[in-house]
Structure 1
Amino acid sequence: MKKTIIAVALVTTTLLTMLSANVLAAAQFPRNLRIVIGSTSTGGDTYQNSSIVAEALAQKLGINVKVDAVGATAAFNTLKRISNGSTIMIFHDQAYLGYLYKQKGYENPFEAYRIGPTIAINPGNAYLVAKNSAYKTVDEMMTACADGTTIRVAIQPGGVSEIGYSALKNAIHIQHPGKESCMVAVNRGSQSDKNQAMFDGLADLINGSVQGNEQYTRLPANDQKAMRFIWLTARKKTIEQANPEGLGETNRDMLLEYVDPNVNVTQDGSRNFTFDKEFFFLFNKDMDEALVARLDKALTEIFAEGKIQKTQKRTFFIPNFMPSQEAEAYLKNKMDQYEKIIDSLQ
């Protein structure tokens, strides 16, 4: 009797495995897959990162994959309308930061959409001062705030650009209560606008990126456009995964000088704040579960092969694949941590 039960169980398990495999095989994305992104730029990091993944998916799935730079609002609206898997989205932490900062057009992505796999990190989120600035470190700037000096920070409000600024104000609030008001935002739009604020002497500190601002760090100190890094928000282990040559004339060892623990911006009095700008998929809430599994499987195989990681690193992205379920839990926890920082400053 026991042998019969075991035999039946084995047959049942085999049938379920075969059924699962057949369902997955039957789940096919349309011949033409559109990936909308939360950016209107075809030269920015979102488009570049998405294009790398799109090309790999096209080869793996045997379909045509097009990246469409429509911007956040249009991308979200499109995603809500289309549930058959013909249109999916790639964005980054702005997807939930825009919601936390109460930006128009942003909803809680964990409720309005379905979170898909993570694919990469842009480790370049940075803060810079003029090369001839009297401030050499972030700590000096926070100490100046504690002494009542106003520090002006050029940011683009409402997302990735602002979260580091919020972290600085939060650290001052923890270490020097009541003095966080001395750090003030100079709200700007594009990176060129933030740069110009520094060129014109309207900002003491700006949010930038390794990719966009490294060229200015090579200029002599007497040049009006000369800058220097003082903080990269990325985790140390993220920067350590970059190629040794880094970017431009700034190698990996030089970049590591600007991250935790060499730069201390406390998050809660016991640990330092870090922020990796991470890219991930978003799906319509009602998209077929089998299609989600199909994409997870395809990306798992792509990253197991190892080729895409080399392409990502050549363009200063750090590979960071997590399948949908793991990615959703990870990103939700990340949002919850940053929500506490933002709420503390309300």
Structure 2
Amino acid sequence: MKRLLISAQAALLAATLTAPLYSFADDNPIRGNIRVVIGSKSTGGDTYQASSIITQALAKKIDTNIKVDAVGFSAAYKALKRVPNGSTIMIFHDQAYLGELYGKKGYENPFDNFIVGQTFATNPGNGYLVPKSSPYKNMAEVLEAAGNGKEVRVAIQPGGVSEIGFTAMKNAVRLAHPGQEDNVVALNTGSQSDKNQALFDGLADVINGSVQANEQYTRLPADDQKAMSFLWLTAKGSTLEQAHEEGLGETSREQLLSFANPAVEVPMSADQNFTFDKEFFFIYNKKTDPKVIAFIDKALTEVFADGEVQEELKKSFFIPNFRTAADSQAYLKGKRDQYSSIIKALQK
């Protein structure tokens, strides 16, 4: 009898040791691989870079394959509408709602037509630059020149984060010099390389750029045609302070902070300066099962609790910024409403 009991216990122990352990993936309501479409066509831009970092961490956590497709916002929206089961998800940034606020073709209200999901990162590097040979050495001089009747040409990609900073410039001129805001003129271009070329060719006085894409040009000697200087970073100073002390390239965090609020003031109202954090977030099909979104909430919560993804993001000059879907929706709706007031004031 004792031998039988020992044999049974041994068999039970062996079965326990060979049985598959519980996996996070066991609770996954999404069947099969996941496709993440992004609102950019570039595989070298910040949207693709941020998306790759977060999806690699997520794929490892839920033990599935996730592919990032750089298809652009229009194709991404179409793909998202076709698949309600969660196997196609979108990642984009604030341009998702800014494009609709600006009335740009192809953009939709993401809060009405889709489900806005989790934020996960901020790019604090969105900014504006001038040639090193420019007569403008700071943003105050740019705004004052426009206020005094000088045309200032700003190269932007319309309908998004590029344009919201341009709108802030016009608004600041309007506040200080009513009626002179049209001296801040948009030069509508496409990619970052197009904006850079406009500066090289002397077609633009100021361009929208980023720390990631343009810091290399700020290292060039002043007599180089491609040499640039930062004037303004739109991110909050408190956001930039979370970056690594070494900053990016040869530009330290301390140097970058000298281009952001409160060191640089671009008035949004009589008592508030304009700032804008470019934030990345998930977007889901309107009919997505709440269980899918809850599952991703839980998975991303654990990814950020593990702590590794934060370092990966910071290495690429992104600031970790996780919110669950519900918190993200409330936050981003409030953010949209805040910047909508500036856009509408200039459209009257």
In the superposition, the TM-score normalised over structure 1's length comes to: 0.92
Which deviates the most, 191-200 or 163-172? 191-200
CA contact (8 A) 2:81 2:285 kept: yes
* 1:57 and 2:58 correspond: yes
Query: In structure 1, what residue type is equivalent to 2:137?
Result: K
Q: Find the counterpart in structure 2 of residue 216 from structure 1.
A: 217
Other-structure match for 1:156? 157
SS for the counterpart of 1:186 is: strand
SS of residue in 1 equivalent to 2:272:
coil
Contact 2:28/2:62 (8 A) holds in 1: no
| 2:337 alignment partner in structure 1 | 336
User: Which position in structure 2 is the counterpart of 1:73?
Assistant: 74
Cα contact 1:37–1:69 (8 A) shared by 2 = yes
2:180 corresponds to which residue? 179
Residue in 2 aligned with 1:111? Answer: 112
Which structure's CA Rg is the greater one? Answer: 2
Read off the aligned partner of 1:101 and give its amino acid letter: Y
Identity of aligned residues (%): 61
State the Cα distance separating 1:269 from its structure 2 match. Answer: 1.5
What CA distance in whole angstroms lies between the structure 2 residues aligned with 1:268 and 1:325? 30
Q: Which residue does the alignment assign to 1:203?
A: 204
Could you list the per-position Cα deviations for residues 185-231 of structure 1 after superposition, in whole angstroms to 9, with x for gaps in the alignment? 11111111111111111111111111111111001111111110010
Cross-structure match for 2:41: 40
Partner of 1:286: 287
> Which sections of structure 1, spanning at least 5 residues, go unmatched?
1-23
**2:16 matched to which residue of 1?**
none
**1:64-143 pair list within 5 angstroms:** 64-143=65-144
Q: Which runs of 4+ in 1 moved over 6 A?
A: none
**Is the 1:199–1:224 contact (alpha carbons within 8 Å) kept by the matching residues of 2?**
yes
Q: Name the Cα RMSD after superposition.
A: 1.1
SS at match of 1:203: coil
What is the distance in 2 between the residues matched to 1:87 and 1:162? Answer: 29
Matched AA of 1:152:
R
Residue identity opposite 2:136 in structure 1? Y
Q: Distance in 2 between matches of 1:257 and 1:46?
A: 25
Q: Secondary structure at the match of 2:202?
A: coil
Query: Which residue number in structure 2 is paired with residue 238 of structure 1?
Result: 239
Q: Give 1:232 shift.
A: 0.2
Provide TM-score, normalisation by structure 2.
0.91
User: For residue 257 of structure 2, what is the amino acid of its counterpart?
Assistant: L
Unaligned regions of 5+ residues in structure 2, if any? Answer: 1-24
CA contact (8 A) 1:30 1:63 kept: no
Q: Cα distance, 1:31 vs. partner?
A: 2.3
- Name the amino acid aligned to 1:170: N
Contact 1:99 1:106 in 2 (8 A): yes
- The amino acid that maps onto 2:249 is G
- The 3-state SS of whatever aligns with 2:322 is strand
Alpha-carbon distance in 2 for matches of 1:26, 1:224: 57
For residue 4 of structure 2, what is the aligned residue in structure 1? none
SS of residue in 2 equivalent to 1:30: coil
1:205-262, CA deviations, whole angstroms, 9 ceiling, x for partnerless residues? 1111111111110011111111100100001011000011111110100000000011
Find the counterpart in structure 1 of residue 260 from structure 2: 259
| Partners of 2:254 and 2:172 in 1: CA distance | 26
Counterpart CA distance in 2 for 1:119 and 1:30 is: 23
Deviates more, 1:291-300 or 1:63-72: 63-72
The number of residues matched between the two structures is: 323
Give the secondary structure class of the aligned counterpart of 1:107: coil
Aligned match of 1:226: 227
Q: Distance in 2 between matches of 1:182 and 1:213?
A: 25
Residue in 2 that maps onto 1:17: none
Letter in 1 for 2:119: T
Measure how far apart 1:28 and its partner are.
Answer: 2.1
